[in-house]
Structure 1
Amino acid sequence: MPRGGGLMAPGARPLLLLVVWTLAALARRGLAEAGDGGWQWRGPGAPAALTEEQSCAVERRADLSYSEFVQHYAFSRPVILQGLTDNSRFRALCSRERLLASFGDSMVRLSTANTYSYRKVDLPFQEYVDHLLHPQDPTSLGNDTLYFFGDNNFSEWASLFQHYSPPPFSLLGTTTAYSFGIAGAGSGVPFHWHGPGFSEVIYGRKRWFLYPPEKTPEFHPNKTTLAWLQDIYPTLVPSAKPLECTVQAGEVLYFPDRWWHATLNLDTSVFISTFLN
């Protein structure tokens, strides 16, 4: 037989197929982590794609200086920041596989998805991901909907948060506090307000609805944002509609003090807010 002949040793073909299959699986996993982090819902009951607004009404800035931020946005209107920080390392650590490996046994505190979030429920992070991280039921009330946002154990999650780079802007006399969350498609918090802050999407997309402090929105505090979007939003005259925009992965929205806002996760989303207290 010529040297380098084409006969394959017995048993080599199944082994080769196993190697090829393993490499393909690793490649698929790598693509998932690079794209949606493995978070997107692929099981039965996945919702029809939730849509973005027809036109974003919040300005996007990729070259904003601190002086411009203070002069034009900090006290007067929202803005979406692009490219000010590099959180690629933090993003990689927030993939589904890595978070479950690091924090699957950790207890997390869930809040109800209504304006006041009175009820809290503690359960293991793995259980939340396996059983509660599903698309929002449009008929569910806010106090029947639990999701993970805020109330983080900062000591237990410190190994993750140390890799996050917050936006480089602050306000005089304030301190920063993180609030990390993961929520299913169609979930969100109805209208509420608090102090100023930043909210960055790590995976997924988050649609925001915002009103200035002097313009109280029409909403029910125990109806979900999805229900509001379906029932109330279509009835609003143009002058009564909010500022709105969908924040994409890697973008950061800044909201000023006391601005009303509601959120709607268009995909299973991973996000982190930096509150200026």
Structure 2
Amino acid sequence: MKFNPWTYCIIIWSCDGIRKPSISNGGWETYPSDISVPPGPCNIPIRDNTLSQEEFLEKFAFTEPLIVRDGANNDLFRALTGKSELLSEYGDSVVRLSSANTHSYEKKDITFSDYCQHHLSPQNLNTYGNETFYMFGDNDFIEWKELLDEYSQPPYTLPR
């Protein structure tokens, strides 16, 4: 099924009382005017859970990229990663942000709530990497373990 962003289009009232359309997925909203590159054709194969381990190894594992859609049931994980659910459970948790330049020299520790409110917005394309901060994963995995354990990876493996 082809993704249609307007399937998730909702109307939001802005602070100045003007209605703004947005694309919402689990409470994570994107305003169409903030999309810097429109969706376009994808030449990467998309497969579902009918892909066998043998076919994965033969056609994809070492030769070309692959998108696996619905490779495992992650309905619970999707529900737990909605914006309101994450903020309720982890809003006060301290997360580490890294600068987006090559070696991520600078680090910042802030609450997850602060990250969501002040760092998850469209970036000016002229902003330098050392002025841009992302949550790359340099965080307390024990604190996030209960959530991360709910994620089911696709069943494909590489030989050792």
Of 15, 35, 45 in structure 2, the residue corresponding to residue 59 of structure 1 is 45
Q: Give the unaligned 5+ runs of structure 1.
A: 1-27, 29-34, 174-277
Greater RCO between the two (CA within 8 Å, min separation 6)? 1
- Give the drift of 1:119: 2.2
Flag structure 2 segments of 5+ consecutive residues without an equivalent.
1-10, 12-23
The AA in structure 1 aligned to 2:60 is Y
Which residue is equivalent to 1:124? 111
Aligned to 2:29, the other structure's residue is in SS state: coil
| Counterpart secondary structure, 1:40 | strand
Write out aligned runs for 1:5-44 (5 A).
Answer: 36-41=25-30
Equivalenced residues, count: 136
TM-score between both structures, scaled by the size of structure 2: 0.77
Aligned equivalents of 1:86, 1:115: Cα separation in 2: 35
The 1-side partners of 2:154 and 2:99 are apart by: 28
Q: Distance in 2 between matches of 1:41 and 1:74?
A: 33
| % identical equivalent positions | 42
- Give the distance between the partners of 1:167 and 1:118, measured in 2 at CA: 33
2:99–2:106 Cα contact (<8 Å) kept: yes
Deviation readout 1:51-84 (Å, 9 max, x if unpaired): 123x212111122111111111111110111221
Change in 2 beyond 3 A, CA 1:73/1:98 = same
Tell me by how many angstroms 1:97 deviates.
Answer: 0.6
Give how far 1:49 is off.
Answer: 5.8
Q: 1:48 to 1:74 in 2, by over 3 A?
A: closer
AA paired with 2:107? K
Residue 115 of structure 1 and its aligned partner are, at CA, apart by: 3.2
Question: In structure 2, do the counterparts of structure 1 residues 76 and 104 end up closer, same or farther at CA, with 3 Å as the change threshold?
Answer: same
Deviations 1:15-42 (A, max 9, x none): xxxxxxxxxxxxx9xxxxxx51111146
The CA distance in 1 between the partners of 2:36 and 2:131, in whole Å, is: 23
Larger Rg, first or second structure (1 or 2) = 1
Residue of 125, 142, 145 corresponding to 1:155: 142
